Amino acid sequence: MARERGLTVDIEGFHKLMDEQRERARKAQKKQVIEVSQLETEAPTRFVGYDAFETPATVLEVVQLKDRTAVVLDTSACYAEMGGQVGDTGELEHGSQLWRITDTQKSGPTWLHYIEGGAASELPVSGSEVRLSVDRDRRAAIQRHHTVTHLLHWALHEVVSRDASQKGSFVGPDKLTFDFNCAPLTPQQVADVERLVNERVLDNAPVSWTEVKYNHIKDRRDVMQFFGEKYGDWVRVVQIGGAAAGLDGYSMELCGGTHCRAVGEIGLFRIVAENAIAAGVRRIEAVAGMEAWRRAGDEIALLKAVAGKVNAPLAELDRRIDNLLAQQKELEKQLRALAQQQAAHQAKRLVAQAQTIDGTPAIIENLGPVDGDTLQGMANELRGLFQGVIVLAGVAEGAVALVASVSPEFTKKAQAGKLIQAIAPLVGGRGGGRPDNARGGGKDVSKVNEALAKARALLESRAPA
């Protein structure tokens, strides 16, 4: 067809280009790697993310780790997860192609950039030049939470104890958690820590970092570190306040994470929770920046909604709730008195309807929609009015409740525990107790009357139940 149109075809050039394409496709194929230790790349990734959010980079390797695709680069601005700080997300760009970085992890000195993968032909090619950019908004939120974690650690020492040492942390874009060894904090201590952190945020002291030889600072008690942790010859010290690199800040910690340039960037700080996670170990969960603002807004909206429901201005909500609680307490008192009156009346009715079964006075009744506690209260009421055997049943919220009570002089004839053990299986349950009082239950509400009939039958027999 080319000759017919007076055209020539460079066959040799065509085959050369095809070979180049095959080589690119071969390099782009995902290498199946089961463990990160099987990576071919051993060269360390040069991290420039302390000062840059974007960087050119060369693709060293593309691998498949289980069901995830990872790209290894010679240079990265993405922070790889470590020290409690989560890994960055971002984008890889090559010409018109764009890949979303969903996470960044470490394998030794090598950074793994996990991307939303596709077919091999759609992945970055080993040896190609790409441009990496970090999700700046997410990184900024993470940095706020990381820097305020250092402030929180310092404030705990100021308010609670210098012995409150860090046991772990999590720093993400949505929140931070800080684990430390300490006794439970009082509400006032929590409030004081929160206030002190926010006061320092308003001071807007600078945040700086410097690398120093570890043996120069390892014995300084004012530089917080995980004592017993193995450090290299050089360490990075992050300080708040003081002169840059002066090691004279009011907060100084060994830390490899990314941080704000000044504490004023943190914005608002709020402690969400303080609780125990292990013996002697407490956890504070907190939020900063826009997350703190959003949480404060949600809480204000909730308070306004509650104020509307109780028909009170927001400023008078506390007083209105106190009044409602007092009213509720009085109503509960009246209900208890009414319930006692009804129980006494019903007890007299049951005593009047008592039967004698084989010489034993007995009250065996299905009291309808009542729970076990109500049945027990009725049995207690009956004991003061009746001497004999009492077996009561009720059904509440789809469950059967059984209670038996036997006067001491009749326990040779029947024992409450054995009665319940005998009839509870009929309602698909079990139970037991003492000879004079026992409880049980089950789930088969259709067999309640059958269980009570069994109790009557046991009393009719001469053998003790």
341 is a domain residue: no
pLDDT score, position 406? 96
The domain boundary, picked from 134, 168, 203, lies at: 134
Same domain, 188 and 67: no
Q: Where are the beta strands (DSSP E) in 110-250?
A: 110-115, 129-134, 166-171, 176-181, 207-213, 234-240
Note whether 288 and 146 are same-domain residues: yes
Residue ranges for the chain with pLDDT beneath 50: 28-30, 34, 462-465
Residues 89 and 215 in one domain: no
Q: What share of the chain is helix, strand, coil (3-state, %, to 5)?
A: 40, 30, 30
Q: Where are the alpha helices (DSSP H) in 353-425?
A: 372-383, 416-423
The model scores a pTM over 0.95: no
Q: How far apart are CA 124 and CA 318, in angstroms?
A: 61
DSSP state of 81: S
Report helix, strand or coil for 357: strand
What is the pLDDT, as a whole number, of residue 41? 67
- 70-128 per-position pLDDT tens digit: 999 999 999 999 999 999 999 999 999 999 999 999 988 999 999 986 555 588 999 99
Number of domains in the chain: 3
Please report, for the domain that includes residue 375, its CATH number. Answer: 3.10.310.40
Domain boundary residue among 134, 151, 169? 134
Rounded distance between C-alpha atoms, residue 444 and residue 149, angstroms: 55
Structural domain for 97, as ranges? 3-134
